Amino acid sequence: MTGKEVIARLKAAGWSLNRIHGSHHIMSKGGQAVPVPVHGARDLGAGLIAALQRQTGVKLK
């Protein structure tokens, strides 16, 4: 799963793009912010996807 796919799922769950700092897209919702790295077509690691799921409460896989 790429960073762009993660961002699309987060947007569908109500998260919005707050800002972009380099290759990190900062998604926010209700005062909480989560960075999502976007490195072209490279897949994110399983541990990073699991951490994003825990932080956001959104099922990504």
DSSP string, 1-61: -BHHHHHHHHHHTT-EEEEEETTEEEEEETTEEEEEE--TTPBPPHHHHHHHHHHH-----
Q: What is the mean pLDDT of the chain?
A: 97
The CATH number assigned to the domain holding 21 equals 3.30.920.30
Domain with 25, as residue range(s), is: 3-56
Rounded percentage of the chain residues whose pLDDT exceeds 90: 98
Domains in the chain: how many in total? 1
Q: What is the predicted pLDDT for the residue at 61?
A: 83
Contacts of 42 (CB under 8 A, 6+ apart): 2, 3
Calculate mean pLDDT across residues 44-52: 97
23 domain-assigned: yes
